[in-house]
Structure 1
Amino acid sequence: MQYLVASPFVQLVAWSVVLLVVHILLQGFSATRELGTEWNAGPRDEGRKPTGAFAGRAERASLNFRETYPAFVGLALALAIVGDPSGWGLTGAWVWLVARLAYIPLYLAGIPYIRSLVWTVSLVGLAIMFLTVVF
């Protein structure tokens, strides 16, 4: 019986889902800590939002992640389909994932400039993936 070996890109997409869940949980837990479990369990019709710095940062970090996440998934799956004989695509995917992991504590701690640099590094990872797919 022959077994298929999953592409490392498919595995990275799976790990990126874990990162997405981390963002969702950080945002949810910080909002619940501030506004309470009744707010979280309720329909939230009143439009209340957390006003604390940590909850706001968690929400903005999550929104920022979701801006580049579709591009990562699309490029990773494209590379899984077309292949990556040079290895550059995989390098770009890892650069994106590691940078996005580093971004979370930097944003939550409110560290400027370095956070922006790490965000730029994640875009470089996407650019490497894009160039690998196209050329």
Structure 2
Amino acid sequence: MSEIHWMAATGLMTALFWLVYVLNRFAVVGIPATLGNPSADAPPLSDWAQRAVAAHNNAIENFVIFAALALGVVALELSSALTVSMAMLYFFARLAHFVVYVMGIPVARTLAFAAGWAAQIVLALVILGVL
């Protein structure tokens, strides 16, 4: 497996995160209202679903950085066991981040975020020739 494999898997996973909170919207406002235009007076999502929205947004923001670094490693032909491992770590860290964020576990959320951030830093250091 390569950095591109893990980047694609992370992209697909991030693209699917919305499904979690849309199910809650179905329950809160109903399917017809969910499929219609958003309404300012609609009841709010459940707390866990609001956290899922925030986790999804965070995943999207961080995917941009990860994808640029993974593509940089591949384009510069710097792929190694370390960089593939960091790409894999990023995938699982983001999955863990989403799950614990939705569950409302703050310390675990921070640790999962930090693991993904550390993977990005290692990829950047490889590109910069420090590692």
Category of TM-score, reference length = shorter chain: 0.7 to 0.9
Distance in 1 of aligned mates of 2:80 and 2:45: 47
Deviation for aligned residue 1:132: 0.9
- In structure 2, do the counterparts of structure 1 residues 49 and 60 end up closer, same or farther at CA, with 3 Å as the change threshold? farther
Unmatched runs of 5 consecutive residues or more in structure 1: 1-6
Distance in 2 of aligned mates of 1:61 and 1:43: 23
The corresponding residue for 1:84 is 78
> Residue 58 of structure 2: which of 58, 61, 64 is its match?
64
Distance in 1 of aligned mates of 2:86 and 2:119: 4
Higher mean displacement: 82-91 or 93-102: 82-91
The corresponding residue for 1:3 is none
> Residue 95 of structure 1: which of 89, 96, 114 is its match?
89
Unmatched runs of 5 consecutive residues or more in structure 2: none
Distance in 2 of aligned mates of 1:26 and 1:124: 27
Distance in 1 of aligned mates of 2:90 and 2:103: 20
The corresponding residue for 2:47 is 53
Distance in 2 of aligned mates of 1:134 and 1:29: 43
Deviation for aligned residue 1:33: 2.3
TM-score normalised over the length of structure 2: 0.87
Q: Is residue 131 from structure 1 mapped to residue 125 from structure 2 by the alignment?
A: yes
SS at match of 2:106: coil
Q: Deviations over 1:82-131 (max 9, x none)?
A: 12254322222111111011112211111121111111111001001111
Amino acid paired to 2:103: A
- Report the number of matched residues: 129
Identity score, percent: 22
Q: Is the 8 A contact 1:96 1:121 kept in 2?
A: yes
The corresponding residue for 2:10 is 16
User: Which segments of structure 1 move beyond 3 Å, counting only runs of 4 or more?
Assistant: 45-49
Amino acid paired to 1:44: P
Higher mean displacement: 115-124 or 14-23: 14-23
The corresponding residue for 1:4 is none
